[in-house]
Structure 1
């Protein structure tokens, strides 16, 4: 019966999305149908309370601030300055400036802790610059979609905090555990860009004139404003002076000051940046509201709990269990956001996971990795939605461009299974 309900809701979701209705409203519509047909709960009250709760979170305040910070950098000369500083070091690497997507997301992930904020902010900076320089849109968007997910893995990470509380695991250990896998995944993404570039040499724009080491160092002066801003924001977070939200506000103030100093900030650009950030956030906020109500509907219907109990009853080997959990979370990612996936399933899955002998710190990073996959899995992949808003491309097209990076995430999960020290080495050093 649960399988029939799940399949029915999938069909309804695809039908509503195919009608051209806004994504957030589509999620609300499917949740409304599910609640009305398969539960006895008061739909109206539940919907209003859930929407209000999901959009009035203090933690969520960091998202529009980081978006605004990205808009300011995008409209100033700071974004092109970042390219001027990085270009000399990347020009001789196959793929050249495509690597800025990965490097930028890796750096910004350590500031925001949010996949959507990382993807949106770096996308505002890199996509116009790459397009202007003649890089193919497909590879530019695909690598950004994948690299944007690093916002969940490289600490600080909101989803790690949620898992740590739910599983009673040290959050500081989880943060340390995410560092090496995050850098590993970034390296895999850059490796993919290298391989793609070697097989598509005609699609990569020609390099600029070769510079000496001294000239490269001199060109790196363009990185000083952006790097200084990152150091200030990161320093505020890791020193404990500011929360992520307060650091985001600090980042906005810093980007405004830098834009003013370099002479690219005027009243018109200030308003344009603010309005653009509001538009993107309203799009994401509506999706979050729809996803929250869909999560509530799924919880009342009992689908995540029943599916998790079914997996636990199969008594699989550890490796088979891991593979099944990958499929399970990717399927859940078709309906739910990452935090909701963790909240709804972790309590049921933990006994099975512990019985299989999985370290709970390792399992936390595993969860983050598979949730990262869900960020670029249609129909409810948040990075896909963010990029759709920026590129006006179809979600399915963006998902296809990100498919190779999706495969690399699976490779990363399997690597962490066979070499668990990739995850556990740093937390053990802290313990020691």
Structure 2
């Protein structure tokens, strides 16, 4: 399985030289009963049959019941998996590599005037599908650290960034010869309730927010004095890690919990099952040290916990990385003090400590199956809003009721 860090792989991308089968825009009446919003059927939409190795049909469904199609745009942005070049996609499944000096290029694809919109995801691409409501998003093209052209994505957690005032959100995907791997992510923020339906070997949905769940989520976090500053009007909720960076959230939030974990495992062992192996760790000096070839971990900061990075960085090495992912999940879910065997796979035990990731907790409470992507390794113990299919035929992205 591709976890969220692997899925992004450092950017969003597309196979520029792929064989593209044109997929024209098509429509159908989508003014449906909200109770049937997941019932969009691939057979009901006029699209060509999918051939493996060609762009994957993508259907955009506006079931917000608040905004008209004319007020919504989408964007397919990412990285070419064969070249590492950053590109943006068009509705027909073709792509354009980004180029310096091309600022102002309009990456937006409008929804059709009425009904569902059919486009295509280029093969060999890892990236994001953004949606914006009420205004278009501004994607800048900048030079990366190596001087190569790169897309500068909107950042809804930086007040002065382009697009901050625009209602927008995104889903993440990797589409290659192995299949389609995708998720509705809230790791950075939550704004627009999105649902993914993936057709292929199976028929899977993920990400559906409960009726009234968006309002309930905003209200629950506004009611918590520590988390309330993360709520930006009725536009979005910013994830706590970004809140720390913006000065909206206490940088010492997890300190007491981390100290308690370090004290607890000076005198007993923490057992972690990860990547088909079991390792044990204890705090030696001021580092949590595991047996085998697993690197030891320094005491993490609150920012490290929320981002599952820094002292909890998870290299793609099959050894330290899987253990770091389990630790990141244990800290965010606050299960490390209640269970010395990790990962804890019982969601009823998650978020029980007062010091916990309440942002992630409320997200999970407001989805119909309890699955959400509230932090980078929310896929530990299968809790993420993630689906994959190794013979995909269609991906549907639904903007669900607010």
Structure richer in strand, relative to its length: 2
TM-score (norm 2): 0.27
TM-score (norm 1): 0.26
**Structure with more relative contact order (C-alpha pairs < 8 Å, separation 6 or more):** 1
